[in-house]
Amino acid sequence: MKLKRLIFLAMVPLVAAMGPKPEGEADGHRPYVRGEVPAARSESDAPARPDRSAVELTVLSAAEAEPAEFLWQARPVVIFANTAADPAFVEQLAALRRDPAPLILRDVVVITDTDPAAASIWRRQLRPEGFSLVLMDKDGQVKQRKPVPWSVREITRAIDKFPLRLQEIGRAGLP
């Protein structure tokens, strides 16, 4: 009983010092009212960010690029198929082009290889069989291989679990 009274007496001055908040508070926050549409923020209120909407998703053929070009610069997502008409290849490329913004945000570069006879450096290094989706990190390591197409959401969720990505977003070592 004495402990409860002591805690109560210690809290009274703290609560009193906070004082009541007037309607239309000075700190700019208003209570949420159900059904009210929040006012649009002006551009000056928005944090400064690079305009990524003007940037397109980079899609290169395997003959145009080498793995060393992307080391510590970008995350290659390599799509292999035995022919450009492979339905899985067409589906994967369409999915990536439909929603490129999350991929651009994660520094993804798409590499396509549909010519097994050319034996590109990507094929020699990664050794795919038929359709294959390979996710690589900026350090050049293969992180995941998939034999079926993945949605952009699945790809970005996988990338967000990479150790380098966790460091980029400042969540390394946090539970």
Give the model's pLDDT for residue 48: 47
Q: Is the pLDDT of residue 22 over 70?
A: no
Mean pLDDT of the chain: 81
pLDDT tens string 97-136: 999 999 999 999 999 999 999 999 999 999 999 999 999 9
pLDDT tens string 90-103: 999 999 999 999 99
Cα–Cα distance between 56 and 58 in angstroms, integer?
6
DSSP assignment of 64-127, as one string? G--GGGGTTT-EEEEEE-SSTT-HHHHHHHHHHHHS-HHHHHTTEEEEEE--GGG--HHHHHH-
Higher pLDDT, 76 or 53: 76
Q: Is the pLDDT of residue 59 over 70?
A: yes
Domain ranges of the chain: 59-173
Comparing CA positions, the residue from 134, 131, 142 lying closest to residue 110 is 134
Is residue 158 a contact partner of residue 144, using CB atoms and an 8 Å limit? Answer: yes
Cα–Cα distance between 126 and 62 in angstroms, integer?
12
Q: Which one-letter amino acid corresponds to residue 149?
A: P
Task: Quickly name the fold that domain 59-173 has.
Answer: Glutaredoxin (3.40.30)
Is residue 76 a contact partner of residue 132, using CB atoms and an 8 Å limit? Answer: no
CA–centroid distance for 152 within its chain? 9
